[in-house]
């Protein structure tokens, strides 16, 4: 009789659950991190960073020269607003540029940290065991009649800066860790440069200012006194270093071709210690309170003396912006308080005066008067066009101080009352209503950039280290040499020493180095 198993069958195993959203997100994140921290991605991001820097070197930047940006707007009125929308005039402070270098920074960290750990382990480890067949290595040689003293072989290799270990009848030697060390130093230096850029963006500040010669045209280190300025998000405006600068004199010399030869500005400094006089030039900035004052450019500020129909005289000066290398400059000088009736004191906005001008330091002797022939003031001339009417300054809308409001001219609220008139210093032009304007002369001005960048020293040191690391990476060659003693001959006490060499990287000169090393070992036999 056969026994029957009456136990119930075990329940069927439940089907495997499909992976949930959590596992899918973890897998996607792991794969994204793996791709981001690959060397290929780092190289692509580095290339993108270089490409993204091109607009910053081609287009004028507001943090360097606001007047050049304004000139670009005048030259390209349709294209400039589109460039402004994509931060083309502030490339290095734009969100898309910051996104690229932050991704590059993250990618470099993911690449370098594991390699740094592996390199540290490799440096602390000893050279590997000698292969069983040295004759199969790219370089092979033998030393006959060797005395069998492997300690002498090791000492010879150490004198030639090899890392050596002796194991029984073999000697293993290795050299060339400088290549990987230089590679890591290069990448760590790139990371330091990115850190320096971030520090400069967070804790740095800058301001641009056009400064005219004379005691009445100085400025102090306050954002309200800059033509254009920007603070980092971690900078407190109240903690800016206190100093005031007045331009006493500016000297410019030129070659016969008109090319600049030497610029030198002399200023009076107050607030940064005792009042003193200081000189600085284009490549020699002035250091004040942790900030650097750079000389970016220069120009001329014509002085006009306007006498209105009631006999009231006003004198004003205005910096004119350079348009070419010969300092042909354009600008405007306005007199909004002209032609006020002295009896009633009533100000008629329709009788305001404005003058559009083209200044030529060396004007042509014959018309047309379109551009200067030399940047120095050899034959100065000011080509003026007079306008009378509402200048549009009372509307409270910001406008350029370098040009009259073109909208007022187009609307007929500001009318031309005199054709272009070329004036030499001291000459006077009488207008249709009996008022007159005199070209008194000019003052010189300089364009200054005041900057504080706490990351610039770090960037300099990192750039030097990157260059040193790159040289080590290019010229360092990883290679190994092995020696093995053969079994002694029964009839002789001398032994055969076999040598083999292996370059770990492409090294055309390894054959000569291997031969010279074996020759040195042979001499010690």
C-alpha to C-alpha distances, 280 to 96, 208, 243, 286, nearest whole angstrom: 36, 16, 16, 6
Residue 18's pLDDT band, with cuts at 50, 70 and 90, is low
pLDDT value of residue 244: 93
Q: What are phi and psi of 294, to 5 degrees?
A: -105, 140
Cα 357 vs. chain centroid, distance in angstroms? 36
pLDDT value of residue 9: 64
Strands (E), 160-243: 163-167, 170-175, 205-212, 219-220, 228-231
pLDDT in tens, 367-419: 888 899 999 999 999 999 999 999 888 766 667 788 888 888 888 889 999 87
pLDDT value of residue 489: 56
pLDDT in tens, 100-139: 888 888 888 888 888 888 888 888 888 989 998 998 999 9
CATH superfamily membership of 127-175+477-523 = Kinase associated domain 1, KA1 (3.30.310.80)
Cα torsion 161, 163, 167, 171 to 10°: value is -40
pLDDT value of residue 216: 85
pLDDT in tens, 162-187: 999 999 899 999 988 888 888 889 88
Q: Is the pLDDT of residue 65 over 70?
A: no
Residues 284-310 have a mean pLDDT of: 92
pLDDT value of residue 230: 84
Angle of the 21-36 helix axis to the 95-124 helix axis, nearest 10: 80
Which range has highest mean pLDDT (147-151, 393-397, 459-463)? 459-463
Residues 19-48 have a mean pLDDT of: 80
C-alpha to C-alpha distances, 184 to 112, 456, 467, nearest whole angstrom: 7, 22, 12
Q: What is the mean pLDDT of the chain?
A: 87
pLDDT in tens, 340-349: 888 777 878 8
pLDDT value of residue 383: 94
* Angle, CA of 162, 163 and 165, to the nearest 5°: 125
3-state secondary structure of 53: helix
Cβ atoms within 10 Å, residue 75: 10
Residues 2-18 have a mean pLDDT of: 63
pLDDT value of residue 488: 62
pLDDT value of residue 280: 92
Residue 42's pLDDT band, with cuts at 50, 70 and 90, is confident
Residues 290-307 have a mean pLDDT of: 93
Is the separation of the CB atoms in 202 and 233 below 8 Å? Answer: yes
pLDDT value of residue 276: 92
Residue 491's pLDDT band, with cuts at 50, 70 and 90, is low
pLDDT in tens, 202-238: 899 988 899 999 988 889 998 888 888 888 888 888 8
- Between 499 and 61, where is the model more confident? 499
pLDDT value of residue 6: 64
DSSP conformational letter for 215? G
**Domain limits of the chain?**
24-117, 127-175+477-523, 199-298+450-466, 299-446
pLDDT value of residue 380: 95
pLDDT value of residue 32: 82
pTM of the model: 0.71
Percentage of residues in the chain with pLDDT exceeding 90?
A: 36
Residue 3's pLDDT band, with cuts at 50, 70 and 90, is low
- Between 157 and 148, where is the model more confident? 157
């Amino acid at each position: 009789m056969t026994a029957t198993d009456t136990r119930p069958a075990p329940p069927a195993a439940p089907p495997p659950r499909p992976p949930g959203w959590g596992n899918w997100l973890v897998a996607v994140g792991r794969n994204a991190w793996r791709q981001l921290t690959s060397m290929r991605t780092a190289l692509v991001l580095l290339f993108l960073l270089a490409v993204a820097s091109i607009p910053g070197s081609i287009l004028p930047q507001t943090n360097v020269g606001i007047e050049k940006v304004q000139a670009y707007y005048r030259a390209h009125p349709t294209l400039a607003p589109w460039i402004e929308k994509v931060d083309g005039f502030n490339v290095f402070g734009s969100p898309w540029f910051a996104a690229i270098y932050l991704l590059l920074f993250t990618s470099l960290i993911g690449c370098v940290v594991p390699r740094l750990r592996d390199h540290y382990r490799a440096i602390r480890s000893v050279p590997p065991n000698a292969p069983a067949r040295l004759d199969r290595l790219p370089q092979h040689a033998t030393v006959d009649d060797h005395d069998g003293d492997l300690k002498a072989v090791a000492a010879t290799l150490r004198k030639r800066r090899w890392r050596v270990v002796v194991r029984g009848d073999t000697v293993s030697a290795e050299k060339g860790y400088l290549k990987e060390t230089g590679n890591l130093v290069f990448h760590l230096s790139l990371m330091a440069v990115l850190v320096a850029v971030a520090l400069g963006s967070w804790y740095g500040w800058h301001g641009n200012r056009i400064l005219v010669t004379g005691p009445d045209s100085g400025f102090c280190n306050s954002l309200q006194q800059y033509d254009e300025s920007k603070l980092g998000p971690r900078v407190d405006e109240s903690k800016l270093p206190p100093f005031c600068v007045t331009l006493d004199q500016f000297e410019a010399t030129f070659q016969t071709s008109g090319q600049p030869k030497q610029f030198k500005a002399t200023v009076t400094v107050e607030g940064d210690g005792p009042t003193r006089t200081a000189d600085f030039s284009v490549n020699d900035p002035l250091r004040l309170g942790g900030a650097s004052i750079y000389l970016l450019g220069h120009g001329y500020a014509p002085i006009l003396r306007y006498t209105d129909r009631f006999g009231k005289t006003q004198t004003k000066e205005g910096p004119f912006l350079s348009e070419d290398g010969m300092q042909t400059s354009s600008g405007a000088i306005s007199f909004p308080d002209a032609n006020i009736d002295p009896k009633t004191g009533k100000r008629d906005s329709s009788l305001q005066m404005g003058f559009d001008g083209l200044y030529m330091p060396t004007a042509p002797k014959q018309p047309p008067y379109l551009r200067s022939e030399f940047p120095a003031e050899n034959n100065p001339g000011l080509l003026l066009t007079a306008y009378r009417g509402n200048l549009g300054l009372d509307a409270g809308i910001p406008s350029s101080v370098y040009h009259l409001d073109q909208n007022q001219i187009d609307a007929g609220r500001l009318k031309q009352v005199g054709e272009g008139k070329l004036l030499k210093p001291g000459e006077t032009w009488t207008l249709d209503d009996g008022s007159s304007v005199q070209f008194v002369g000019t003052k010189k001005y300089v364009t200054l950039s005041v900057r504080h960048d706490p990351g610039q020293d770090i960037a300099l040191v990192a750039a030097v280290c990157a260059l040193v690391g790159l040289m080590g990476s290019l010229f360092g060659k990883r290679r190994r040499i092995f020696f093995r003693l053969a079994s002694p001959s029964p009839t002789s006490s001398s032994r055969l020493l076999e040598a083999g060499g292996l370059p770990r990287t492409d090294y055309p000169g390894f054959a000569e180095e291997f031969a010279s090393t074996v020759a040195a070992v042979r001499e010690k036999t």
